[in-house]
Amino acid sequence: MDITTCCDLSLRQLDGLSNGLNEEVHSIGRVLSELGNVQAPANHPANFVLPVLYGGLSASIAASDTVNKFLNEIHKTASKTTEPKTVFEKMIRFLFGHSGDNIDKFDLGDGDPRFINRMKIVSDDGSWEWAGQNAEGLAHRLFWGHDIFSMSGDNPFALLCDQYGLLKGIVQVFRHLLGDTFSKAGLPIPFHSYFDYIKDGGRMGNRLLDFAKSTAADASGDLTGYDAFNQMFTVRAADIGTTALTSAACGVHNMIMNRNDEAAATQVRAIAYSSQFFGKAAIGAIQTGGVPFISWPTALMAVKEIFNLYRVSYKEIATLERITSSLAPETDRLEAMVFASGASLVSHPDAFGYIRELRQIESRMDTMVDFFEEP
């Protein structure tokens, strides 16, 4: 094959390769256009700094003595037995009134309602008797009637439906338990009854309360074990309200900055709730010398948003994997085309072969020049 034929063949092959590459580029471009649906969360500093401020502000409000004193007055109004005097008192009594409910003090049949606990014993005649009838009033919600998941006879739905009837009893459960979140002590977290146990002396105990007492004992402040329990293992209206405040702040933030970015919006909420949770815990540890103030509503929202962030990230990763899988065959086909286009080209085993070919080309060019220069 002479140099002219070789060059002509090479040029035609390059033209064919160019056309093929253009087609492949358009094909791959269509696949790559799908990458527009995969975006990393907006890395604007405001998406990191402002959520911390939202959470920190809410934590400060939730831990404020002024706020908690005001909320405790609402609980006192809701639990009064006297007639309400103002419109505000009437509204509070209508929403959260719970005076005389059997999930607080219970009448054992002697006409003297008192604080009791969940522990029962079976007498010789096979009947149930209540043990530990003088339960500690400082923790009466922990030992009786305030765990909606309790499997004992103190389940609030069972007690209040028996006291007021089915429909009114169900409504009263929510009125009472929500009203208790406004109190200074708060409402013990759900499932607290599953931490009950019987002490050596036959009295009833609770491992959550024991843990709170040991934490208070190790702290450098003067917080009692009951106070520590109230700060660590109860649900409070202040926590519910400030968690809602954080949620509202994040909603406005995302409406302005992350309207079409689900990953960034979820990230903002996760940072804000986490900041509120750890912020309040840190405030408590500082104020009490080691006992963290735990906001359970905030903790639940933080866990929810962290899970959502994982879900969104996993969805984006799955999209990237799908696009990568579709690109791989196109890349292999393009590579095969490139190799095939050069299969018929002359290839020398070493550099000297190309040098000899260049010399042959030069010799042929000289021959052509001599031919045209002859008279």
Predicted TM-score of the model (pTM): 0.75
- Dump pLDDT digits (tens) for 86-132: 999 999 999 999 998 999 888 777 777 777 787 765 556 655 555 55
Give the closest residue to 235 by CA, choosing from 304, 293, 285, 173.
293
Whether the CB-CB separation of 250 and 51 falls below 8 Å is answered with yes
Model pLDDT for residues 166-223, shown as the tens digit of each residue: 999 999 999 999 999 999 999 999 999 999 988 877 778 899 999 999 999 998 888 8
What stretches in the chain show pLDDT beneath 70? Answer: 1-42, 120-138, 337-348, 351, 353-354, 369-375
Cα separation of 231 and 291, whole Å?
A: 8
Axis-axis angle for helices 46-62, 262-288 (nearest 10): 40
- Domain segments of the chain: what residues? 3-39+322-373, 46-320
Q: CA angle, 76 as apex, 73 and 78 as ends, to 5°?
A: 110
Characterize 10-44 residue by residue with b for buried, 16 or more Cβ atoms within 10 angstroms of its Cβ, and e for exposed.
eeebeeeeeebeeebeeeeeeeeeeeeeeeebeee
Closest CA to 114 of 139, 141, 137: 137
229 neighbors 212 (Cβ within 8 angstroms): yes
Cα 2–chain centre separation? 73
- Nearest 5°: CA angle at 339, between 337 and 341? 70
